[in-house]
Amino acid sequence: MRNQPDFQQSHTPLTIAMLEPALLILLKEQPRHGYTLLSDIEELGMGTIHPSVIYRMLRDLERLAWVQSIWDTDQTQGPPRRTYSLTDQGEEALKFWQRELNKSQTLINKILGRIP
C-alpha cells in the first residue's frame, strides 16, 4: 500500500501562489509587522504558513520595490521590529494581481463546474 499524502496538513502550490497577492492586499490596508502578517494570513483562511516562507516573500517583495520596511524602534518592550508597507510599485503589482485573480476565479469556476 502506497503512502497517501496528507492533503489536510500540507499547503498546495495554489495556496503558496496566493501568498504574494494576500501580502500585498494586507499591506495596502495598513502597514504591518511580519508577525502580524503571519496571523492575518491565517485569518484569511490560508492556514498556518511557516514564518520563514512569509519573511522570504517579504524580502523578495522588498527587492522588487513593491514593499518597503522600516525599523520600528518605538516599541516599549522587546527588540525593534520591521514595519512593512506597500509602495507605489506595489500598488501597480496589486492591480495586476487583481486582474489575474479575476481570470483565475473564472477558470476555477469552469473547472469546478465540470466535476460531477
Is residue 96 pLDDT above 50, yes or no?
yes
- Mean pLDDT within 18-26: 97
Name the nearest CA neighbour of 34 among 51, 16, 46, 14: 51
Quote the mean pLDDT of the chain. Answer: 90
Residue 1: what pLDDT? 43
pTM of the model: 0.85
More confidently predicted of 36 and 2 = 36
Domain spans of the chain, in order of start: 13-113
Taking the domain 13-113, which CATH number applies? Answer: 1.10.10.10
Please, is 84 exposed, middle or buried when counting C-beta atoms within 10 Å of its C-beta (0-12, 13-18, 19+)? buried
